[in-house]
Amino acid sequence: MLHLFSLFLPTVIPSWRFFKTVAPSPRIEYRLIEAGRVEDWQEDRPRPGHLGLGQILRRMLWNPEWNEQLYLVSCSERLIDEPSQHSVDEINLRVARLLPAGQQELQFRLVFVSREQGQIVKLVEYESSPVSLITLQEAVG
């Protein structure tokens, strides 16, 4: 109950400190592992190169995939700030749901992008334990 209260309180007494600082920004990368053969890391749902005006306006009303991506950003930040199995499970499930069914194991890592002394730098801050892809996909349904 106390935990629920701690989740509820910031919604009724919000801080409203949007973009106080531009913090290091997480990207989720994943790879598949099959019988000891390890694939290269790939970015989860890379953004498109360009969006037309029509697509942008349509997204005002219908933007489920992007909002899920923003939720994954929150899960990634929470995983670093307050590590929990919930965040690991949510990232695993949502990465797995977009992959073709397979017998491989899925592993993800969190790469944080930031600017340091004028240069864009990337730092791997978390690497998950591999889990069975098919088990995740069955859990999703």
Partner 1 sequence: MSGLSFLQQGLSAGQAMGWMQLLLAFAIAQQSLEHLALGALGLRDRMIFVPRLVLCVVMGLGIGGAWPVWGLWGISLAMLWRYQGPYNGGSDKMTMLILSCLSLAHLAPSAFWQEMALSYLAVQLVLSYFVSGLVKVVNPEWRCGEALRDVFRFSAYPVSEGLRGLADHPRFLFVMGWAVILFELVFPLALLDPVALKLALLCAAGFHFSNACFFGLNRFFWIWLCAYPALIWFQDRIF
Of 34-42, 86-94, 101-109, 126-134, which segment contacts partner 1 by CB under 8 A?
Answer: 86-94
- Sequential DSSP letters for the chain: -HHHHHHHHHHHS----TTSS---EEEEEEEEEETTEEPPPEESSPPPS---HHHHHHHHH--HHHHHHHHHHHHHHHHHHS--HHHHHHHHHHHHTTSPP-SSEEEEEEEEEEEETTEEEEEEEEEPPPEEHHHHHHHH-
CA distance 78 to 80: 5
Our finding on whether 135 is near partner 1 (CB under 8 A) is: no
Of 62 and 129, which has the nearer Cβ to partner 1?
Answer: 62
CB of 38 to partner 1, least distance (A): 26
Can you tell me which of 2, 36, 62, 117 binds partner 1, judged by CB under 8 A? Answer: 62
Q: Is 101 in the site for partner 1 (CB under 8 A)?
A: no
Asked whether position 66 contacts partner 1 by CB under 8 A, the answer is yes
* Cβ-contact 28, 124 below 8 angstroms: no
Supply the minimum distance, in Å, between the C-beta of residue 108 and partner 1.
15
Query: Among residues 35 and 53, whose Cβ is nearest to partner 1?
Result: 53
Instruction: Report if residue 1 touches partner 1, rule: CB under 8 A.
Output: no
What are the residues binding partner 1 (CB under 8 A)?
A: 4, 7-8, 10-12, 14-22, 25-27, 47-51, 56, 59-71, 73-74, 78, 84, 86-87, 90, 93-94, 97, 113-115, 120, 140-141
